[in-house]
Copies of this chain bind each other. A is one copy, B any other.
């Protein structure tokens, strides 16, 4: 029973969202001078081939990770451009539901790791060893 509970907790979407929020809070508490991130190349944190517009510098990554946290915490959805990336409208709704739940879980884990890497990178910049 305990291992089923543990598995439940590991795979919970709500936990993944909370974990991301915590990582961003820790980033904010650590990065006291975000301006130090300006003009620092972001390719160690971000896959710059996939996301050119977010690859200006680590400072733009920092702002973006904070903006995503706001969306996570408010649950507020920008519906204005909701058709941009919707190639799956004809899919079975059950499959679509599982697809989006799994996708959100996976992207939250990815963003949590990126937030932690950015925080570590800042520590490197200011010369504090982890």
**A interface, CB within 8 angstroms of B:** 8, 11-15, 49-51, 53-54, 64, 68, 71, 74-79, 82, 84-88, 90-108, 110-111, 114
Question: How many of these chains are in the complex?
Answer: 2
Can you give 16 contacting A-B residue pairs, CB < 8 Å?
Answer: A11-B75, A11-B77, A12-B76, A13-B75, A15-B75, A51-B93, A51-B95, A71-B97, A71-B98, A71-B101, A86-B99, A93-B110, A93-B111, A97-B108, A101-B104, A103-B103
Report the bound CA distance from A50 to B88 in whole Å. 10
Known: A12-B75, A85-B99. A54 touches B94 (CB 8 A): yes
* Main SS class of interface, A: helix
Q: Which of B8, B64, B93, B114 contacts A76 (CB 8 A)?
A: B8
The reply to whether A85 and B77 form a contact with Cβ atoms under 8 Å apart is no
Expressed in whole angstroms, the minimum distance between the Cβ of A71 and any Cβ of chain B is: 7
Q: Which residues of B are found within 8 Å of A49, using beta-carbon distances?
A: 90
Report the bound CA distance from A115 to B101 in whole Å. 19
Report the bound CA distance from A81 to B73 in whole Å. 28
Q: Which residues of B are found within 8 Å of A106, using beta-carbon distances?
A: 82
Known: A78-B102, A97-B111. A91 touches B15 (CB 8 A): no
